[in-house]
Amino acid sequence: MASTVAIQINNLSKSFKGKIALKSVNFTIRKGEMVALIGASGSGKSTLLRHINGLHLGDAGTVYIFGTVLQSKGKLHSKIRLLQSQIGCIFQQFNLVNRLTVIENVLVGNLARLSILRSILHLFTKEEKIQALAALERVGILEHTYKRASMLSGGQQQRVAIARCLVQGAKIFLADEPIASLDPESARKVMELIVQLNRQSGITVVASLHQIQMVRSYFDRAIALRDGAVMFDGATIELDDNKLNEIYGAAAEELVMRGHGELLV
């Protein structure tokens, strides 16, 4: 496989108790690409992202990360942790430990590589702390380093989650509706940060979003799922109302016709 590939998915299928969630999904994402994952609620976006980081096992098919098999035919790579450390996950809910400080939250991103004792005692090396501070500066919240995570706004918390991915050394960011819980201004700032990291550090980004305007503003490429199958993979400028109707189905037709395509979920 060419060394320019970050994520490759071949014929990935998954059913939950007989109900199909992913239907022979195929695509390739090159290193440094930024791809929006779109589709109606229940179309399989979260399920697909969870297969890419090995949290779900497919019934059939293969997921490659940087040319290495992460999972194939329902089996995980034996060194899954090593592969997972290259993948940073950002969720809709910020997934921080509220009672810990911002910097502690960033440091526990390293847990996979720390001994259990050190992680329980929260003992981190000076080098790790410097790395965490650099990441917090990069995401623009250095001044909040020693506040409890719960004191931060949603947008700030999402930036802590991003700093944690940076400290982890992730080369791929998987973001599942990263801005869905944010006000429009915070959402824009978080998207701009993600774009900046993509452009400056070549981090490959796959993000599920339901605001079509955001998809058009920040992404060149979109992959759309409908009922677990890829039904569009192309340039976001091709996402006209007809395409959106096909992607989101009958429920969306009215919204699009009324000019409210941006409200689609």
Q: Smallest distance, Å, CB 197 to ligand ADP?
A: 23
Q: Are strands 60-65 and 34-38 parallel, antiparallel or unpaired?
A: unpaired
What is the smallest separation between the CB atom of 34 and ligand ADP, expressed in angstroms? Answer: 19
Residue 44 is a binding residue for ligand ADP (CB under 6 A) = yes
Which of these, 159, 219, 160, 220, lies nearest to 190 by C-alpha position?
159
By CB under 6 A, name the one of 33, 34, 36, 39 that touches ligand ADP.
39
Q: Are the beta carbons of 149 and 96 closer than 8 angstroms?
A: yes
Q: Of the candidates 1, 42, 125, 199, which one interacts with ligand ADP according to CB under 6 A?
A: 42
Q: Rule CB under 6 A: say whether 43 interacts with ligand ADP.
A: yes
10 exposure class (CB count in 10 Å sphere: 0-12, 13-18, 19+): middle
21 near ligand ADP, judged by CB under 6 A:
yes
CB of 86 to ligand ADP, least distance (A): 22
User: Does residue 41 interact with ligand ADP by CB under 6 A?
Assistant: yes
User: Vertex 179, ends 244 and 93: CA angle to 5°?
Assistant: 125
Report residue 97 CA to chain centroid gap: 19
- Contact present, 14 and 59 (Cβ < 8 Å): yes
- Identity of the residue, 46 or 131, whose beta carbon is nearer to ligand ADP in the bound complex: 46
Q: Quick one: tokens of 193?
A: 């940060």
The continuous run of DSSP H or E covering 32 comes out as: none
Q: Quick check: 47 binds Mg ion (CB under 5 A)?
A: no
Which one of the spans 4-12, 38-46, 84-92, 231-239 is the region binding ligand ADP (CB under 6 A)?
38-46
Q: Does the footprint of Mg ion cover residue 46 (CB under 5 A)?
A: yes
CB 218 within 8 A of CB 233: no
Cα separation, 80 vs 117, in Å, equals: 22
Which residues are 60's β-sheet partners?
13
Answer for which of 1, 4, 16, 153 binds ligand ADP (CB under 6 A) is 16
Q: Say which entry of ligand ADP, Mg ion, none residue 155 contacts (CB below 5 to 8 A, set by partner kind).
A: none
**Contact residues for ligand ADP, defined by CB under 6 A:** 16, 19, 21, 39, 41-47
**Contact residues for Mg ion, defined by CB under 5 A:** 45-46
